[in-house]
Structure 1
Amino acid sequence: MRFPSPRDVDKACFAESMNIKSCGAVVSLRKWSESMGAKGVLNIAWVNVSNIPLDKRHEKNIAYVGSLVGVTLEIDQS
């Protein structure tokens, strides 16, 4: 996921984890470091959100879920 600034990365990583109450998922963010075994810096990540009830499938709701982990830049309608 691309964050607008290093400060936003620090803010997102401040809490050890985030609980999404509506589905019981736990999201954990960590700042990238070479010790993680990654081959490069990831600038953008797609987050797959599934099992959304039909009556809640609106762009506003999806953008809200994305905002829990960073800045939502784009939503794939499929």
Structure 2
Amino acid sequence: MNVKSCGAVINLRKWSESVGAKGLLNVAWVNVSNIPLDKRHEKNIAYVGSLVGVTLEIDKATINRPESVRIKLGCRDAEDIPASAEGVLG
């Protein structure tokens, strides 16, 4: 496929699990606390999840819950998710 506006050429191949995979992705639902209520929107919550893995889904029913937000997190080993991580919410 050629992109006429910039002259780039894109090659498409059928996806395969074996392409560059280094391991299986573990999935876990985790509760994330200490996000200030005024900073709780999906972009910031996804950022917080990315500090320890890949944010796959946000439980929208928990975004405004005072105690914690529930996220579905992808990581290499669910047993090794750290108890805390620090980041800056701008």
Q: TM-score range by the shorter chain?
A: 0.3 to 0.5
User: Normalized against structure 1, the TM-score is what?
Assistant: 0.43
Higher relative contact order (CA closer than 8 Å, sequence separation 6+): 1
Look at both structures and tell me which one has the larger radius of gyration over its CA atoms.
2
Considering fraction of residues, name the structure with more helix: 1
